[in-house]
Structure 1
């Protein structure tokens, strides 16, 4: 069934811990602007998957310039965020989930958009891979496949954003945030380096 196939494939691609998931997890733990963040991620996936079904994937794979811009811009963005996470982790008196005011909504959403659109792998996963798999289902099945893939994205991001708040008690200690931010910094730096490899 196209809907279930799209759901399963999409979920398998987005569940892996990456830059975007780490950011959503952190916002969920802080219980800070969670709804705008998960909506930004899920609606972006819906847009990218739909674009792939409409043929944008074939166009992207032919443009080396577009791939290079995404590659180097994304790596620079990830290295910057890795440095910020490392600074939070290793400075004395690391913050907890509740000991500072929330970041501005605009800043959080812009950061979330950066994690989404400055990552070249998001285009490979959603536009190219999911788009081409959907189009293999023919005219009638491709949008059902896309619906399944989009539903998986909404399911995952809402679950990650809202259920991670249940761990807030664990993250009431500064040491837990130091470990989380250290892990985020390592993930971001590793992904940025991997992005630059030939």
Structure 2
């Protein structure tokens, strides 16, 4: 059980760091847009990457070189630029919360969630490489318990984040409040792009 608890604590300490994916989950919660689907994709993705890292760390470390990381960073920048552009373009549009969920298709949310998850190189450094490296000397049964603990932390975090945001959405059902939220999102994503550019340079 100690490895289950260790996996939980290690994972939650990594995932608590604010990032583009977390901001996206919060936004979908505030808008009440397919929250369960978003949280489920994020959680299952972490589950897959965590166990890939734990059991295949030695294999991946040979191939995840600086060139591949650079490609992921460039793709993430392009993805974030498109996201910021759409935010700025629709900045003055009215947000109708009662119909928001109906207007956004599941396919659109699916691809956005996948983009924020798999185009982010930090999701690989946290799950595949950090957790994989951390647990590389564990026995197989210890690795399984460690992975389960880490995955439980991920599921609890994303679903808590999404549904807590949904609960707080009652305070965001105001056009002025939502514009402030959008300014924060645009600013945060812009700073994130700048940070990624610094890493590339």
Superposition TM-score, scaled by structure 2 size: 0.89
2:101 maps to 1:98: no
Within 5 Å, give how 1:21-100 maps onto structure 2: 21-56=22-57, 57-61=60-64, 63-89=65-91, 91=92, 93-98=93-98, 100=100
Tell me the alpha carbon deviations over residues 80-103 of structure 1, each in whole angstroms, 9 at most, x when there is no partner.
2122223334x2x54253354431
Structure 1: how far apart are the matches of 2:62 and 2:51?
14
After TM superposition, the runs of 4+ consecutive aligned structure 1 residues lying more than 6 A away are none
Taking the aligned partners of 1:130 and 1:60, their CA distance within structure 2 comes to: 17
| Structure 1 gap ranges (5+) | none
C-alpha separation between the residues in 2 aligned to 1:54 and 1:170? 44
Describe the superposition over 1:152-197 as per-residue Cα deviations: whole angstroms up to 9, x where unpaired. 0000011111121111211110111111111111111111221122
Q: In the aligned structure 1, how far is the partner of 2:97 from the partner of 2:79? A: 24
Task: Please name the residue that 1:140 is paired with.
Answer: 141
1:117 aligned residue: 118
Q: Deviations over 1:4-27 (max 9, x none)?
A: 111111111112221111111111
Structure 2: distance between partners of 1:60 and 1:40: 25
1:89-144 Cα shifts (integer Å, max 9, x gaps):
4x2x5425335443110000100000001011111111100111122333331121
CA RMSD of aligned residues (A): 1.7
Could you tell me which runs of 5 or more consecutive residues in structure 2 were left unpaired when the two chains were aligned: none
**Mean CA deviation greater in 148-157 or 8-17:** 8-17
- Structure 2 counterpart SS, 1:169: helix
Aligned counterparts of 1:156 and 1:23: Cα–Cα separation in 2? 14
